[in-house]
Amino acid sequence: MHVLGIDIGGTGIKGAPVDVATGKLLDERKKIPTPKPATPLACVEVVRELAESFGWTGVTGATFPGVVTNGTVRTAANVDHGWIGTDAANMFGKALGTDVTVLNDADAGGIAEMPFGAGEGEQGTVLMVTFGTGIGSALFVGGLLVPNTEFGHIELRGHDAEKRASEQAKVQHDLSWAKWAGRVQEYLQYMEALLSPDLIIVGGGISKESSKWVPLLDGIRARIVPAALLNDAGIVGAAMAAAGIATAR
């Protein structure tokens, strides 16, 4: 089955058709900067542009950087707050003229990584953490997703953890790899104390540079590995969710 996957992030909206049986992109992904401000109508226009660029009229899946329940957005920390309460699935569906499934962005990344990436074959507790504009999280227990965890908003030193340890925090504060890795390590140690995961998968745009910071992490019992699908995981997972494949296989 072929499904269009669209990944909405705080800095970019990207998409590509996906073969959900293999997790492979069927065309080169396309990316458009996230509108500023990232209002619902502005983002819908970008999603429409992406779909039209592929000539797409079929089933579509889309991610959103916040809590999403039954297609409706409940939180919007890193995009316009006008999203809160919006039926995103219905809005995208009307714009594209097709059925659209909408889910949390990190959950989508985890859905892809479990069968096709770093989580393949893992049946214990797996935590995926994505570092980008904020920090996203996806938790799997026995291969089953616990949706909308949003652990980037856990309080750490009096602030949301993502304010200290996201990729954006690294850039804003001009942190060295070692300094930033220290913040990530503190965050992951806290998450390990809460969840005792067997495996931690680190994703997001900065995962492509994992060799510069993952080896610096220490004092964490769980295995830590970079996402195999890198920043395509959200696209693939969105497509899988729209195809009704929302758990590890």
Question: What is the tens place of the pLDDT at every residue in 90-137?
Answer: 999 999 999 999 999 999 999 999 999 999 999 899 999 999 999 999
Please list the residues that pair with 103 across neighbouring strands.
63
- Total of domains in the chain: 2
Beta-carbon contacts of residue 225 (< 8 Å; ≥ 6 apart): 118, 199, 200, 201, 202, 214
Residues 221, 232: Cα–Cα separation, whole Å: 27
Phi, psi of 101 (to 5 degrees): -100, 135
Say if residue 22 is in the same domain as residue 100.
yes
> Would you say 239 and 108 are in contact if contact means Cβ atoms under 8 Å apart?
no
pLDDT of 188 over the 50 cut: yes
Q: What is the pLDDT of residues 142-184, one digit of tens each?
A: 999 999 999 999 999 999 999 999 999 999 999 999 999 999 9
Bridge partners (DSSP) of residue 200 are: 127, 224
115 vs 199: CA distance, rounded Å:
14
pLDDT one-digit tens code per residue, 26-62: 999 999 999 999 999 999 999 999 999 999 999 999 9
Q: Helix, strand or coil for residue 120?
A: coil
The answer, as to whether pTM is greater than 0.85, is: yes
Give the count of alpha carbons within 13 A of 19, CB side only: 7
Query: Mind listing the pLDDT tens digit for each residue in 199-249?
Result: 999 998 899 999 999 999 999 999 999 999 988 999 999 999 999 986 544
Same domain, yes or no, for 130 and 85?
A: no
Planar angle of CA 73, 92, 11, nearest 5 degrees = 65
Confidence at 13, pLDDT banded by 50, 70, 90 = very high
Report the half-sphere exposure of 62 (CA within 13 A, side-chain side).
33
Give residue 55's domain range. Answer: 2-105+232-242
The answer to whether position 35 is within a domain reads: yes
In a domain, 248, yes or no: no
Tokens 């067997």, located at residue: 198
Indicate whether 115 belongs to any domain: no
The Cα–Cα gap between 196 and 237 comes to 24
Task: Give the CATH number of the domain where residue 19 resides.
Answer: 3.30.420.40
> Do 179 and 101 share a structural domain?
no
Residue 21 has what DSSP assignment?
T
